[in-house]
């Protein structure tokens, strides 16, 4: 969830900032004397919506390092056996996955059992693991986790999710402006005064509030694509490290989640949440562990 939340937070901040700036500067060429030019509005929203998503992607590595205190490992001079093991596994798995360059490898201090990959491209990726994962998982399970994360990189999942988020951004921006324009017109008609309505700044504020609300309403769509891509990454890890290794990694995670020593919320490696039968499953970025294990046991479909 951290990777998803970081990306989502930066994305929505960028979109809201762009919207506020363009409104304040009067860059609203889609508004004409006859109302909204919907083609111009959709073009405007696609440019700025996709732009917001890709700015978030370009900042993803930097944001992860700064917000999580990730310590990068020098692959040529690893310090200690744990770092040497990570470098060896990432290098071997990256070669098997056909990555064009070795991703940056990092460790961050946290009791949670977690790993993630991020970055703007396969040649500029970051793979990070928590200290809790290294303490609580054996080498075979860690290999399965790394295979999963490197499969995300090889599959281009960061770019795919960015494109999906960009389309969502565009529609959110589009409908926010259409609704705000309708509200403005309704207020003008009620006041029977063309000088009434939301006003210049009121329109900008309403658009931003609507974008914020609509973005959260769109989260289930983005989360569904995220869950689908997790199954693909599991399958990728099964090809790289072997299905038994990936299943062992998931079983190790399930054991960690069932340990009472730590809060359940902190134990979400690959950020899995036990939310079966819960409405929160709609916005969960990962499927339940049992379903992922079952998919691996069934094999390629």
Active site residues: 149
Alpha-carbon dihedral angle through residues 259, 260, 262, 266, given to the nearest 10 degrees: 70
Instruction: Please calculate the CA angle 112-109-55 and round it to the nearest 5 degrees.
Output: 90
Asked if residue 36 lies in contact with residue 178, where contact means CB atoms within 8 angstroms, the answer is yes
Read off the tokens for 97: 């996955």
Q: Whole-angstrom Cα distance, residue 146 to residue 237?
A: 8
State how far the Cα of 153 lies from the Cα of 156, in Å rounded to an integer: 5
Whether 240 and 96 have beta carbons less than 8 Å apart is answered as yes
Burial class, 107, CB count within 10 angstroms (exposed 0-12 / middle 13-18 / buried 19+):
buried
DSSP string, 148-203: HHHHHHHTTHHHHHHHHHHHHHHHHHHHHHHHHHHHHHHHHHHHT-TT-SSHHHHH
Cα separation, 61 vs 16, in Å, equals 21
Cα angle 9, 178, 4; round to 5: 15
Tokens encoding 271: 């950020």
Distance, CA of 151 to CA of 94 (rounded, Å)? 9
């Amino acid at each position: 969830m951290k990777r998803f939340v970081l990306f989502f937070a930066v994305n929505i901040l960028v979109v809201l900032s762009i919207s506020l700036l363009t409104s304040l500067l009067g860059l609203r060429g889609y508004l004409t004397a006859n109302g909204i030019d919907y083609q111009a509005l959709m073009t405007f929203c696609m440019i700025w919506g996709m732009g917001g998503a890709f700015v978030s992607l370009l900042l993803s590595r930097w944001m992860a390092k700064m917000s999580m205190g990730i310590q990068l490992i020098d692959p040529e001079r690893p310090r200690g056996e744990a770092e040497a093991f990570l470098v060896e596994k990432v290098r071997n798995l990256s070669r098997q996955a056909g990555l064009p360059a070795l991703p940056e490898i990092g460790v961050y201090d946290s009791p949670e059992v977690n790993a993630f990959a991020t970055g703007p491209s396969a040649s500029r990726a970051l793979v990070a693991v928590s200290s809790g994962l290294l303490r609580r998982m054996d080498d075979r399970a860690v290999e399965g986790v790394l295979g999963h994360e490197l499969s995300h990189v090889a599959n281009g999942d960061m770019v795919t999710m960015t494109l999906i988020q960009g389309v969502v951004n565009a529609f959110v921006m589009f409908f926010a402006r259409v609704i705000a324009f309708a509200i403005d017109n309704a207020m003008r008609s009620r006041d029977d005064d063309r000088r009434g309505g939301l006003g210049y700044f009121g329109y900008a504020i309403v658009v931003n509030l609507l974008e914020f609300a609509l973005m959260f309403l769109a989260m289930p769509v983005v989360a569904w694509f995220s869950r689908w891509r997790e199954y693909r990454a599991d399958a990728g890890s099964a090809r790289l490290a072997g299905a038994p290794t990936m299943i062992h990694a998931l079983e190790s995670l399930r054991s960690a989640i069932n340990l009472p020593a730590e809060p359940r919320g902190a134990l979400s490696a690959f950020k899995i949440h036990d939310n079966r039968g819960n409405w929160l499953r709609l916005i969960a970025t990962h499927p339940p562990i049992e379903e992922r294990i079952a998919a691996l046991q069934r094999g390629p479909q």
